[in-house]
Chains A and B, each alone.
Chain A
Amino acid sequence: MKTIPSLCLEKAGIKTVKRFYLLFILLIGSKAFALTDSTGLTLRAVQLNLSTRGAGLEVAGGFKQPLVLRAGVNFITFQRGFAIKAEDGTFIQTDPDVASVSTHLLLDHYPFRSRLFHLTAGLEYAWIQRYTGTFYAHEAVKLGGVEMEAEDFGNAVLGIRWNRLKPYLGVGLKRDIMKRQMAVGLDVGTWYMGSPQLDLRYEGFLETTTIDEQVKQVEVNMRSYAFYPYLALQLRYSLN
């Protein structure tokens, strides 16, 4: 899994790059705003995220005790193709295309005096979410005792789509007011994405099959795939 932003965002498109840097500037700029905000929002930390949502950046601000507001961005991309072994040394080529760029706003509540454990709720909006896999063959493929020329095998592009707006619920371990300049933090939770919708486009032998009906069956089977587990490790830098 690679999470280097510059190369990946180039593929995601110029618009994505612009959105990302705009968000970054807003996050950094929010420090000046927070320090002078009359509502009492005080910027406390900037943190790098390494999570199941990819790499990301967050700023955390003290709100009303015992609340902390966090805003951030996560991005992840994966495009390395691989071959799936079929029969008799033949292969089906698979090209995944995974790209996600999202921003989120989370509210931490510290219920205990220790101010280490917190409950978290929030929302994420995915600006870009692309989860597709393309399947094809370079050479003849053997399946179920029969052989198919690459041209007859054709190709299939399977895409999965979830809601762009995703609520979050979780817990975490990190101090609301850091005692040191650098620290680590932990979040564990889940994003609710809604039931996935599958999109299958194909050419080749699949056109002669009942795959469309079966995709609906898979969609039904995947209704429970509505929650995305979130495990994040953070490297935090205090701004106090």
Chain B
Amino acid sequence: MKKLLWGLCVVLVSCGNPFEDFVLGLKEPIEEATVRIQFNLPENGKLPQNLEFSVEGPDAGKVVTNLNSRNFKISREGVIILAVSPEFTPTPAAPVEFTVVARAEGYLKIIKTFRFTGKANQSFQAQLVKEDLSGSLTTFQAEIKNTTYQTPDPTQKLLLTVQGNTIFRDRAGAEIPGAKELVMMRYDHKTAKNNLPAGGVAANPVGQDGKPLENAFDFLQVASLAFVQISSREDSRVVKTLDTPLQLTMELNPEMINPLTGARVKTGDMLTITSYDTDTGVWKDEGETRVVSGAGGKLQVSFPVPHLSFWMAGWRRTLCKNGPSFIVNSTYSGVDISFLAQLTDAASGKVIREYYMAVNNGSQLTISNIPAESEKVKLVLYDYSNYHGGNRTAPVAVSQAVSLCGTSTVNLPAFKVTLPRLVEIEMYTNCPAGQTLDKATLPAQMRIQYSEVGKGAWRDAGIVRREQHIAGTYRLKFGARYDIRASSDGGVTWPYQQKDQLINKTRWLIDVKTFGGKCK
């Protein structure tokens, strides 16, 4: 009996501390073979509530978030970072290819394919655009059942004709059977130029025969920019080619000015047709077409479309592919802010283009893809930074004149720009006397952003890492007050904040004792 009672006592008091050896650390984000997808926030700064996001394709199983999770969730700031799982190594011989699909009721379906052949990172801006818009941007979305489709804008329609007997094929040439969904977007001549893919600079274009063109080009004016996407309803496979081309008709605004003639566009004017493949990044010269008078006397251009991508009609201009390089002479290093530099015509002083350039000694700004409209140019540097502003009227340095087209190297002295006080950011734990920080226990990385107090306009301040737990920045202004926040997951979420902080120390401490940061 005594033994029984003793046994009972033992089992009643034998429980240990459940939190023994409990250390809450931070996951280490994957930093190679990632794609950062940034969605716009079209619902008053928020994502649509019914947004569905999925990863499709044969390699979808090899895809994780950058925290090595299969929980694909977009942050409330519209960011998700996907990565090839560390279990797989993408190579040119064994690439990893997958497609992300995002759809929300009332919005155009987004489909984007990513292909990884190595460890390089990618990024993608995913634009959630409302369907059935009318105006400068007009949109349309439907299941393919008929032969003709048009965007809802009554004044400048985009019309698409599908041949009933055509066969739809994916990039690999395989037929895509079954039901299909069509997405169309059209920007008019007022907005097209600002919405061209890849900045509208065809740096390495190809001709109609697929061979590289000698000169790069951009656009003087775009009369109409169209995006056409057809995809399988079942598995979201995207149609790339058609055995019988589609016919695309763009109605034009008769008020538009032909930049070559300086007069309003009219029947008989010639427009160049260009396509841009978003998957391969290839600009292609698709020839020319003549403006004709269509139904109801409306001006229009019409042309066959054998492959799907962006298509634009307009007027091009030739660019200098390679221009001069300007190399900075200074005493600076590790400066993470840039200063205003204007490329000006050496003869007239007219500003051709503006840049923000680094001022660290030896840093280089290479000019490329500039319209060949000046013979000699100069680079003019101002004491005006992209973080703190300054004086943008009195130059602090002017380079010697150099030919715009053709490679050459010119020095630019940048000794006179004014740097703010350096502020260091440190991952820190307050260790008791006699102990020091065990760096091995620090979080792998902390990205730091700051904003003016209460504004929520966040800008990067720097990244502190386990290996380099102190980072210097010139982006914070000494003596100013900021809201500061930190992210441990590569910038997807920013849960850790310090509000209304006065930067009155040259070293700013980020306390990480809650998440590792042990003393030894």
| A residues lining the B interface (CB < 8 Å) | 119, 140, 143-149, 151-153, 169-171, 188-190, 204-205, 207-211, 214, 217-218, 221-222, 224-225, 227, 229
The stretch from B13-21, B183-191, B215-223 touching chain A is: B13-21
Q: Would B76 and A210 count as touching, CB distance under 8 A?
A: no
Q: Would B12 and A147 count as touching, CB distance under 8 A?
A: no
B489 within 8 A of A: yes
Determine the residue in chain A with the shortest Cβ distance to B25: A210
B-side contacts of A190, CB under 8 Å:
8, 11-12
Q: With the chains together, A140 CA to B8 CA distance in Å?
A: 46
Q: Would A152 and B18 count as touching, CB distance under 8 A?
A: no
Q: With the chains together, A189 CA to B5 CA distance in Å?
A: 9
Chain B, interface residues (CB within 8 Å), range:
35 or more
A-side contacts of B20, CB under 8 Å:
221
CB-CB under 8 A for A147 and B497, given A214-B24, A218-B22? yes
Among B8, B71, B73, the most chain A Cβ lie within 10 Å of the Cβ of B8
B4 within 8 A of A: yes
B53 to chain A, nearest CB (A): 16
B-side contacts of A169, CB under 8 Å:
4, 8
A-side contacts of B21, CB under 8 Å:
217, 221
B-side contacts of A205, CB under 8 Å:
493, 495-496
The stretch from B92-100, B233-241, B410-418, B509-517 touching chain A is: B509-517
A-side contacts of B515, CB under 8 Å:
144, 209
Q: A221-B20, A227-B14 given. 9 additional CB < 8 A pairs?
A: A119-B4, A144-B513, A149-B495, A152-B497, A210-B27, A211-B24, A218-B18, A218-B19, A221-B16
Q: With the chains together, A151 CA to B21 CA distance in Å?
A: 29
CB-CB under 8 A for A148 and B18, given A189-B8, A190-B12, A207-B67? no
Q: Would B511 and A146 count as touching, CB distance under 8 A?
A: yes
A-side contacts of B494, CB under 8 Å:
152
B457 within 8 A of A: no
Contact with A along B494-509 (1 / 0, CB 8 A): 1111110000000000
Contact with A209, one of B18, B19, B25, B511 (Cβ below 8 angstroms): B25
Q: Would A171 and B5 count as touching, CB distance under 8 A?
A: yes
* Interface of chain B: mostly helix, strand, loop or mixed: loop
Q: List 12 A-B contacts (CB under 8 A).
A: A145-B513, A145-B514, A146-B498, A151-B76, A152-B493, A152-B495, A153-B495, A171-B5, A171-B8, A209-B26, A210-B23, A210-B26
B231 within 8 A of A: no
| B residues lining the A interface (CB < 8 Å) | 4-5, 8, 11-12, 14-27, 67, 69, 71, 73, 76, 486, 488-489, 493-499, 511-515
Q: Would A144 and B4 count as touching, CB distance under 8 A?
A: no
B458 to chain A, nearest CB (A): 13
Q: With the chains together, A87 CA to B5 CA distance in Å?
A: 45
A-side contacts of B17, CB under 8 Å:
221
Among A149, A188, A227, the most chain B Cβ lie within 10 Å of the Cβ of A227
Q: With the chains together, A144 CA to B24 CA distance in Å?
A: 12
B167 to chain A, nearest CB (A): 45
Determine the residue in chain B with the shortest Cβ distance to A148: B495
A-side contacts of B512, CB under 8 Å:
144
Q: With the chains together, A39 CA to B223 CA distance in Å?
A: 100
CB-CB under 8 A for A208 and B493, given A143-B514, A145-B513? yes
A184 to chain B, nearest CB (A): 21
Q: Would A188 and B497 count as touching, CB distance under 8 A?
A: no
A191 to chain B, nearest CB (A): 10
Q: Would A149 and B12 count as touching, CB distance under 8 A?
A: no
Q: Would B496 and A148 count as touching, CB distance under 8 A?
A: yes
A-side contacts of B495, CB under 8 Å:
148-149, 152-153, 204-205, 208
Q: With the chains together, A153 CA to B21 CA distance in Å?
A: 23
Q: Would B511 and A222 count as touching, CB distance under 8 A?
A: no
Q: With the chains together, A205 CA to B486 CA distance in Å?
A: 12
Q: With the chains together, A153 CA to B494 CA distance in Å?
A: 10
Q: With the chains together, A188 CA to B7 CA distance in Å?
A: 12
A-side contacts of B27, CB under 8 Å:
208-210
Q: Would B514 and A225 count as touching, CB distance under 8 A?
A: no
B-side contacts of A227, CB under 8 Å:
11-12, 14
The 10 closest A-B pairs by CB, nearest first: A144-B514, A145-B511, A152-B495, A205-B495, A146-B496, A227-B11, A210-B25, A208-B489, A221-B18, A147-B497
CB-CB under 8 A for A210 and B18, given A146-B486, A188-B8, A205-B495? no
Q: With the chains together, A162 CA to B490 CA distance in Å?
A: 38
B-side contacts of A210, CB under 8 Å:
23-27
Among A145, A152, A170, A217, the most chain B Cβ lie within 10 Å of the Cβ of A145
B411 to chain A, nearest CB (A): 46
B-side contacts of A211, CB under 8 Å:
24
Q: Would B67 and A208 count as touching, CB distance under 8 A?
A: yes
Q: Would B493 and A214 count as touching, CB distance under 8 A?
A: no
A113 to chain B, nearest CB (A): 15
Q: With the chains together, A205 CA to B67 CA distance in Å?
A: 12
Q: With the chains together, A224 CA to B13 CA distance in Å?
A: 10
Q: With the chains together, A5 CA to B17 CA distance in Å?
A: 33
B400 to chain A, nearest CB (A): 51
B454 to chain A, nearest CB (A): 13
B30 to chain A, nearest CB (A): 13
A-side contacts of B499, CB under 8 Å:
147
A170 to chain B, nearest CB (A): 7
Q: With the chains together, A209 CA to B11 CA distance in Å?
A: 34
Q: Would B493 and A171 count as touching, CB distance under 8 A?
A: no
B507 to chain A, nearest CB (A): 15
Q: With the chains together, A224 CA to B23 CA distance in Å?
A: 20
A7 to chain B, nearest CB (A): 31
A99 to chain B, nearest CB (A): 22
Q: With the chains together, A140 CA to B486 CA distance in Å?
A: 15
Q: Would A207 and B493 count as touching, CB distance under 8 A?
A: yes
Q: With the chains together, A171 CA to B76 CA distance in Å?
A: 58
Q: Would A221 and B24 count as touching, CB distance under 8 A?
A: no
B-side contacts of A143, CB under 8 Å:
514
Q: With the chains together, A222 CA to B17 CA distance in Å?
A: 8
B469 to chain A, nearest CB (A): 16
Q: With the chains together, A20 CA to B112 CA distance in Å?
A: 56
Contact with B4, one of A147, A171, A218 (Cβ below 8 angstroms): A171
